[in-house]
Amino acid sequence: MNVAERVVRDGVVGDGAEERRERPPVGAFARPDVVPYIARWSSERCPPSMVAAGDRGIRYTDELPHDRDARGILWKRIGLSPGKGRPEFGNVHFFRQRRAMRKLLCQICGGPADRTADGTLWLVGEDADDRDAWATDLVTGHPPLCVPCAVTSVRACPHLRKQYVALRVRTFELGGVQGALYRLYGRTPVAYSADGVPFHSWRIHWVLAAQLLMSLAEFTMVDLAEEHAQYMRRKATAGPERAA
């Protein structure tokens, strides 16, 4: 499996209407209406950490139990203070991306991703007219979405405005991680590349993970406008209590 995907980081911005109505003080950052759940905020910094060589791979010199996941993979450290400071749309928060992938949360609002009998909703920044170029061994670092946030994303994200494909994915599984790869230089581990690493690879012990990667196996291309129309019909049928 090739897990080195062309990862596109999502950025969603508002239309600025609220900022025009209530302008912030001079020098303040005008917050957009929508900040993706997986986006990092300026207050969420990476604490200084020293990487050393262990028996089977890399480790932190001051390693704590929560630095590794259930598979024993070492993860980058990151602060946790969403909503404080400025949103950094070009940077993904390691922990929230990982949580969204594991729990199938919408990458924008953090609620449950949309799931129907046809599968879970995903967006990929690919050319719908060139399916042969991407439809085999499709691996993504982007969590799924709910329908309303998917509609917002394709309108607001500069990359998705150019091209995107909406998918209903029936079969998928976590396949690996994206992160910084290390190798020994003498006795010192040195980062030399950033790449995707499958769980079964021996290199998994030499990667400092930053994102989970999902392998999308069985899926169907869908029309997002029709998906939104069906969502609105389901919401109307559910009634005000269930739709809330």
Q: Identify the domain containing residue 143 by its residue range.
A: 28-243
Q: Has residue 82 been placed in a domain?
A: yes
CA distances from 119 to 194, 207, 224, 227 (A): 31, 31, 14, 12
Q: Has residue 7 been placed in a domain?
A: no
User: What is the Cα–Cα distance from 224 to 173, expressed in whole angstroms?
Assistant: 23
Task: Using a cut of 0.85, tell me whether the model's pTM lies above it.
Answer: no
Mean pLDDT of the chain: 85
pLDDT in tens, 95-153: 999 999 999 999 999 999 999 999 999 999 888 888 887 888 899 999 999 999 999 99
Between 201 and 22, where is the model more confident? 201
Q: Has residue 14 been placed in a domain?
A: no
For the ranges 121-130, 164-173, 194-203, the lowest mean pLDDT is seen at 121-130
CA distances from 204 to 53, 58, 81, 139 (A): 14, 10, 29, 17
In the chain, the number of structural domains is 1
What angle, rounded to 10 degrees, do the helices at 147-156 and 224-243 form? Answer: 140
Q: Has residue 13 been placed in a domain?
A: no
